[in-house]
Amino acid sequence: MIEQILADIKQRKFKPVYFLHGEESYYIDLVSDLLEKEVLTEGEKGFNQTVLYGKEADILTIISTAKRYPMMSEYQVVIVKEAQNLKFGKSETKEDPLAIYLENPLKSTILVFCYKYGTLDKRLKIAKSIEKHGVLYESKKLYDNQISEWASKFVESKGFKIEGKAAAMIAEFLGNDLGKVANEIEKVLINMGDRKTISMDDIEKNIGVSKEFNSFELNSAIVKRDVLKANRIIDYFAANKKENPIVLIIGNMNSFFSKLFTYHFLQDKSKGNVAKELKVNPFFVAEYESAARNFNFDKTCQVISLLREYDLKSKGVDNTGNTEEGELLKELVWKILH
């Protein structure tokens, strides 16, 4: 749906009202910024573009502004930011002034509501009117396991490619804040020169993620039973605790072995099906194939149990000696590999 909304705006197929709501602010800002950029020329904006804020404006002020006619322009644009601070009427309130306006919105006004970190009750009369005459778009948060694919598509939309491992590292390091992910990728693209594929070196140089000392490399070392490499990574984590909190490291390991648990039950272990069922980038399927050879089902269950135990220890439960994070990790990895 978002692609169609953006395409219509770029083709100047405007709706009289856009209600953008949801937990993910990235797409709310994207649509709002595009309307702010595309509808009016710079010369028209002075008289025909108004930005209101939900903390300061009320519904009657918004309606009054929306009912004005444009000056020397086909449209006027009214953008209501922080709309989550407004009090919207109840579903059966016939006298709701906003509901009355939205039943017959002015075609020359493009009214945009930016309602962040929450959702509009779709049972309200205004929601039904918006769906009838305009755009009611909910911007939902992506799950952590969807960020890698989103980053890859975002890079492709800019005319570039990205290595699977690099996309996964962006997802792990930056989390599911799409605005942050997009900004960091843009930073990388600026420094690409003539190259068209983002590599781990680019991620390390521009975003600050170490290509050698990270949770993926630790999982890889464990899978390959490379004790020396695993301990080197753990020593790096211990020396850089702020950037590598043990809770996240164990969480990443638990995610990996939980997926390995699922892998053992798959009847169809083709690359495409494994990627689909485990919700991982196809790049990482070989890692699970290798892990399954070195960690059978029983051992995988044992590892998951150890991870839960050491997750609690990292939070102070049954850690009577107040063992340092680095030592806890070394202990954990030793037990996993023996």
Same domain, yes or no, for 244 and 198?
Answer: no
Would 215 be classed as within a structural domain? no
Would 8 be classed as within a structural domain? yes
Same domain, yes or no, for 59 and 161?
Answer: no
The span from the CA of 117 to the CA of 82, in Å, is 10
With beta carbons less than 8 A apart as the criterion, state whether 246 and 215 touch.
no
The span from the CA of 250 to the CA of 315, in Å, is 11
Would 217 be classed as within a structural domain? no
The number of folded domains in the chain is: 3
Would 112 be classed as within a structural domain? yes
Same domain, yes or no, for 113 and 176?
Answer: no
Same domain, yes or no, for 87 and 34?
Answer: yes
Instruction: Kindly tell me if the per-residue pLDDT of 148 is higher than 90.
Output: no
Burial of 220 (0-12, 13-18, 19+ CB in 10 A): buried
Mean predicted confidence (pLDDT) in 31-53: 96
The span from the CA of 188 to the CA of 203, in Å, is 7
> Any idea what the CATH number is for the domain that residue 58 is in?
3.40.50.300
Q: Angle CA(236)–CA(280)–CA(228) in degrees, nearest 5? A: 25
Return the half-sphere exposure (C-beta side, CA atoms, 13 A cut-off) of residue 88. 21
Burial of 39 (0-12, 13-18, 19+ CB in 10 A): buried
pLDDT of residue 94: 56
81 DSSP assignment? E
Higher-confidence position of 208 and 303: 303
Would 317 be classed as within a structural domain? yes
- The model's pTM: 0.77
Same domain, yes or no, for 115 and 159?
Answer: no
Last residue of a domain, one of 138, 164, 184: 138
Mean predicted confidence (pLDDT) in 63-87: 96
Helices assigned H by DSSP within the chain:
2-10, 25-38, 42-48, 59-66, 97-103, 125-133, 147-157, 164-174, 178-190, 200-207, 215-223, 227-239, 246-265, 271-278, 285-294, 297-314, 325-337
Would 238 be classed as within a structural domain? yes
pLDDT in tens, 193-242: 899 999 999 998 888 878 888 888 899 999 999 999 999 999 998 888 88
Q: Angle CA(2)–CA(175)–CA(279) in degrees, nearest 5? A: 70
Same domain, yes or no, for 197 and 319?
Answer: no
Same domain, yes or no, for 6 and 134?
Answer: yes
Same domain, yes or no, for 154 and 198?
Answer: yes
Same domain, yes or no, for 104 and 188?
Answer: no
Residues 6+ apart with CB under 8 A from 77: 35, 36, 39, 40, 45, 48, 49, 50, 109, 110, 112
Same domain, yes or no, for 114 and 193?
Answer: no
Q: In which band, very low, low, confident or very high, does the pLDDT at 93 lie, cut at 50, 70 and 90?
A: very low
Last residue of a domain, one of 84, 111, 138: 138
> Any idea what the CATH number is for the domain that residue 332 is in?
1.20.272.10
Q: Which domain holds residue 157?
A: 144-207
Which sign does the torsion angle of CA 128, 129, 130, 131 carry?
positive
> Any idea what the CATH number is for the domain that residue 202 is in?
1.10.8.60
pLDDT in tens, 259-294: 999 999 999 999 989 988 998 877 788 889 999 999
Same domain, yes or no, for 281 and 330?
Answer: yes
The span from the CA of 182 to the CA of 1, in Å, is 19
Q: In which band, very low, low, confident or very high, does the pLDDT at 90 lie, cut at 50, 70 and 90?
A: low
